[in-house]
Structure 1
């Protein structure tokens, strides 16, 4: 597990601290036009609004920016940063060095990384050696309660975020920093970078975020109101293990051993283990959305990010939902770019360079050379949005996300299990599936929601969803007579009933060719947690294509056994070309384990029974698709 985490969960992240005086925030360097087709997706603080689409930079091309290294070596030293409450944070400062091993003495632009995975842990790749050998300093800081730092870890909590500005102040005051900082990192480190960027420290001039989260509740921990048992226990255990297995203890056992014991006791009694147990048993402060999740969700602060920001995401990433949302928000106030590959979390960047898209280190250097050094690196001329397209097998660039040329298409789930443009008639049959809570153990989503770890096992069920959907109800189009290009979020509106007092619905979207069921994306929803706030939901052509569920205790619905109820399932965004002769499948089932398991109260109410999906004129079930003209593809 540690090796897997080192590959992807602990991407090198640097929060670059810069200048002592505030400069004017750069305006986004893309022209926009009103979009009558899309709205934005709201947040806890803001309702949805009419969207604007970037229309410039349509002919942009990727270039490989790979200048020769200016330094052959680098040196790392440990430092301590003391917070106002006396808590001491451990920091590693890495500087470029000449051929003789002597560190540079001039002040440099500085990359800052805020990690929870222990900067000194074996295999931790938080240090970006490529950037350092090209003339950058880097500071990697263990956030409080992790690694070599004192205090209690609370996963992006208010106290931890309160350390951001003092850390940046400390970096700016060091002789190695020239006052210009870039925030950088992946996964947890990218989340910390986004939260730090929102603090508007005058020294921060740019950010490079690799697979960041946007909404802690909706993206990952309680998708659809269900506890994510694929990733969250793995992640909480990883942070704890990285802190306990601390090489610094060998250097100073007298202080290191007590620190380790304190962190382990905190994990067992104060945060990690109690949080997981609360999620499983249904603690109201944890399983419902509220202040705990709001403070930990970067999307709630993204409007405050005014520095050029590059975001990297993945179509199979655990933060698949949130990465384009962060781009969409930040682009309003600063230059922003978005790159989405066909990656799981731990495989981010694999396969590059391809289709002209360079490796991530080269893009990072190009971004920082432009916005930290002011060099003519061409970063501002890169494509605004580049996404891998399933079915096409290539990366495609566009001017914006969501795609400005998308329009909505609604297909209806019919009683004969077909998927058609015509609405159902009176008396069409319903379809039934058993409420099995552990369906999907071997599936593409199981690989995705274990951060790609399960996908490392070469099992056919990881790339073909036929087995995972064996108990599901499948709604399929006829073989397509024309290619179908989908790009964006998907909504599945269902009329269902259950024989229990609650239940879950899992939706999978597939490209079917012959006997091969190729997974594209998925969604999850608990029946009692299906209340939708229409004022915060995203629309396309005035139809809700990305529902915003409230997930509050006050909005929880009563599920009456046997009574039909309408629910809307948010299916996470995808980018896919379904070719002529293939079929589009919408698979509806009762569960998607370990992606989600309802908290015990809901689980007990729906663990045994049957789920009915209706398809008649009074109970119309359908899917809303974001369709883009295939003429936009190369």
Structure 2
């Protein structure tokens, strides 16, 4: 592996970030993946064409408003170290994490894909890494996923398309923020864009991560904001040779922190407009215009990823538009899925090989056997097998409901979960501000960082301790395998003593030995229970994915003593409960450190709630079952 260029001051920033930036692919504990499924592809990657590269740093890329973005261009080189003269297709990556650092780059340390440095350059592609507006060495004010930044993405592709060293064909790659930029670029439909390969992208940043269920994310977003701000403060390499441009960049970055992104973050934290799904978030959702993505797209997601909810929605939106699209969803957190280190378990080869297959086919016109890759390949929790389907919600799925039955008492007894008749009952849920602290949820919503430091901590894989802080409703041991896949809805009939509160749910697999595997989770603020039926999703006439507006105008306290149904979106997954195991729905009133109540919640977050079951209050869980 050939090393990337190294910024002289890197050791300083590396030490500063070391507490929160692990090596990409450092594995959070997960169920072991099964061997590749039958029919695994036999395609083999082609060998290198070149063995040397040359990089031109800090190319000026002018935007339509006069702002200058900066990009590093890497080209294959001949044996004497000179760039090859032929025009080549270009793979573009737009990053907010400073292209001069080995962070977020191929071979890098944070969301860096598990792809050898210069893998594609050695095989006849040019690579262009560009700092997003207001980050790294680029001018402008950073405002993540804003309309202006989205326009930049399309303009960068159009710029690469018309350069004299380009053959006019462009692809895009990268994970997380870098993957979201690809979707925004594709929605602009710039000339020359032929294919994209986003790993761990978001569909709706508000619902996916910023405010699950209407409460604010307090785990991932603060560390992410510090990372982008910290890497953006590093002086650019061109400071001495272009002092005026460097000064402009520095002023823009400072102004963005004081007058742009920082106030936006604080507004959300203080319960301002950004805390609700209003105009600020409307322009930051790739899913809104996903039908405009008309270039072949390959999405990699994770069942424990921070964007777990949105990745299937992106796949479905692109598929509906008739655009070629593939989706692999594995048992990975954000770092694991972004790195792709374990993607070979899906049976199609390494991440580098998958990307090469994708780009060689759609950009170079080669036959790389893409028909051997199913539209959807997902990991089935509980069995460890990989499942291949043509659609995310395939025709062999049907909706099945399980009724909560009887009463549960915290740390004392479980209620029931049944496909038959439910017994009436009521259970007191006392919110405990420690719930969620030692669970896979904590690891998931910090991007997989805690398990790097404490990888053997039992509660990453066994949720029974956390379940003792809330209520549990268990099925009888199943007699035949129960397979489900897709989004899930829990409708709970509740009353409150304070008018509000959080329902933090976990869908789990209870093994015969009593160990508890957390499959997936869902969250909902009681005061944001308003349901938009037109935007919600139904299967066989049953609700499987509720859609709540999350607006300040739709927020309504539940009068003490009033019983009302609250639909909780449980994030999509694929799993199987095997014979002898039980299906569990666990209910808590907090998910720490993942979510924090809005400041105006006050003591409402601590008020007891009552969960009602059976009879007039048919609390239930509804899922697509295979």
Normalising to structure 2: TM-score of the pair?
A: 0.88
| Pairing partner for 1:113 from 93, 98, 104 | 93
Does structure 2 retain, via aligned residues, the 8 Å contact 1:109–1:181?
A: yes
Bigger mean CA deviation after superposition, 271-280 or 506-515: 271-280
SS in 1 for 2:133: coil
> 1:274 Cα deviation (Å)?
1.7
Residue in structure 2 matched with residue 625 of structure 1 by the alignment: 623
Residue in structure 1 matched with residue 611 of structure 2 by the alignment: 613
Residue in structure 2 matched with residue 395 of structure 1 by the alignment: 386
Change (3 A) 1:2 1:122: farther
SS in 2 for 1:519: strand
> 1:266 Cα deviation (Å)?
3.2
| Matches of 1:148 and 1:542, distance apart in 2 | 53
The 5-angstrom pairing of residues 251-290 of structure 1 reads 254-255=243-244, 258=247, 261-262=250-251, 265-283=254-272, 285-290=273-278
Residue in structure 1 matched with residue 114 of structure 2 by the alignment: none
Residue in structure 1 matched with residue 472 of structure 2 by the alignment: 474
Does residue 433 of the first structure (1) align with residue 429 of the second (2)?
A: yes
RMSD of equivalent CA atoms: 2.1
> 1:62 Cα deviation (Å)?
3.1
SS in 2 for 1:522: strand
Bigger mean CA deviation after superposition, 374-383 or 511-520: 374-383
Residue in structure 2 matched with residue 139 of structure 1 by the alignment: 128
Residue in structure 2 matched with residue 85 of structure 1 by the alignment: 65
Residue in structure 1 matched with residue 375 of structure 2 by the alignment: 384
SS in 2 for 1:520: strand
Residue in structure 2 matched with residue 449 of structure 1 by the alignment: 445
SS in 2 for 1:412: strand
Bigger mean CA deviation after superposition, 412-421 or 167-176: 167-176
Residue in structure 1 matched with residue 404 of structure 2 by the alignment: 413
SS in 2 for 1:163: helix
Change (3 A) 1:448 1:488: same
Does structure 1 retain, via aligned residues, the 8 Å contact 2:157–2:185?
A: no
Residue in structure 2 matched with residue 62 of structure 1 by the alignment: 41
Bigger mean CA deviation after superposition, 124-133 or 344-353: 124-133
Does structure 1 retain, via aligned residues, the 8 Å contact 2:330–2:343?
A: no
Residue in structure 2 matched with residue 594 of structure 1 by the alignment: 593
| Matches of 2:45 and 2:143, distance apart in 1 | 39
Change (3 A) 1:64 1:344: farther
Change (3 A) 1:140 1:108: same
SS in 2 for 1:197: helix
> 1:8 Cα deviation (Å)?
5.0
Change (3 A) 1:175 1:256: closer
Residue in structure 2 matched with residue 541 of structure 1 by the alignment: 540
Residue in structure 2 matched with residue 102 of structure 1 by the alignment: 82
SS in 2 for 1:413: strand
> 1:263 Cα deviation (Å)?
5.1
Does structure 2 retain, via aligned residues, the 8 Å contact 1:63–1:358?
A: no
Change (3 A) 1:395 1:86: same
| Matches of 1:246 and 1:62, distance apart in 2 | 46
Deviations 1:163-184 (A, max 9, x none): 2333223212212211111121
Does structure 1 retain, via aligned residues, the 8 Å contact 2:155–2:190?
A: no
Question: What are the ranges of 5 or more consecutive residues in structure 1 without an aligned counterpart?
Answer: 10-57, 629-634
Question: What are the ranges of 5 or more consecutive residues in structure 2 without an aligned counterpart?
Answer: 1-15, 26-36, 108-116, 408-414
| Pairing partner for 1:368 from 359, 363, 379 | 359
> 1:453 Cα deviation (Å)?
0.6
The 5-angstrom pairing of residues 204-603 of structure 1 reads 204-246=193-235, 248=237, 254-255=243-244, 258=247, 261-262=250-251, 265-283=254-272, 285-332=273-320, 333-348=322-337, 349-354=340-345, 356-416=347-407, 417-425=415-423, 428-456=424-452, 457-458=454-455, 459-513=457-511, 514-602=513-601
| Matches of 1:419 and 1:561, distance apart in 2 | 27
> 1:561 Cα deviation (Å)?
1.8
Of the two structures, which has the highest relative contact order with CA contacts closer than 8 Å and spacing of 6 or more? Answer: 1
Give the paired residue count.
576
> 1:64 Cα deviation (Å)?
4.3
Normalising to structure 1: TM-score of the pair?
A: 0.87
Deviations 1:487-518 (A, max 9, x none): 11110000011111211110001111122111
Does residue 186 of the first structure (1) align with residue 185 of the second (2)?
A: no
| Matches of 2:254 and 2:603, distance apart in 1 | 35
> 1:83 Cα deviation (Å)?
1.9
Does residue 76 of the first structure (1) align with residue 55 of the second (2)?
A: yes
Does structure 2 retain, via aligned residues, the 8 Å contact 1:61–1:383?
A: no
Bigger mean CA deviation after superposition, 448-457 or 461-470: 461-470
Does structure 2 retain, via aligned residues, the 8 Å contact 1:62–1:383?
A: no
Bigger mean CA deviation after superposition, 244-253 or 491-500: 244-253
Does structure 2 retain, via aligned residues, the 8 Å contact 1:184–1:209?
A: yes
| Matches of 2:64 and 2:343, distance apart in 1 | 44
SS in 2 for 1:571: strand
Change (3 A) 1:254 1:69: same
Bigger mean CA deviation after superposition, 458-467 or 110-119: 458-467
| Matches of 1:601 and 1:221, distance apart in 2 | 17
Change (3 A) 1:449 1:466: same
Does structure 2 retain, via aligned residues, the 8 Å contact 1:437–1:607?
A: no
Change (3 A) 1:608 1:59: closer
> 1:441 Cα deviation (Å)?
1.5
Does structure 2 retain, via aligned residues, the 8 Å contact 1:63–1:356?
A: no
| Matches of 1:507 and 1:275, distance apart in 2 | 29
> 1:260 Cα deviation (Å)?
6.5
Deviations 1:570-616 (A, max 9, x none): 000111111100111100110112221121112x1423221111113
Residue in structure 1 matched with residue 9 of structure 2 by the alignment: none
